[in-house]
Amino acid sequence: MAYVAGLLSAEELTELESRGWEFEDCPVQLIPQDMPIEDRGRMKMVWVDASMFDVMSGPDWEKGRQSCPRSR
Longest CA–CA separation in the chain, Å? 44
Contact (CB, 8 A) for 1 and 47: yes
Whether this model's pTM surpasses 0.85: no
**8: part of which helix (H) or strand (E)?**
none
**61: part of which helix (H) or strand (E)?**
none
How far from chain centre, in Å, is Cα 11?
17
Delimit the domains of the chain by residue range. Answer: 2-71
- Measured between alpha carbons, how far is 42 from 33 in angstroms, rounded to an integer? 14
Residue 7 pairs with which residues in a beta bridge? 43
* Predicted confidence (pLDDT) per residue in 16-48, tens digit: 999 998 899 999 999 999 999 999 999 999 887
* Predicted confidence (pLDDT) per residue in 57-66, tens digit: 666 666 665 5
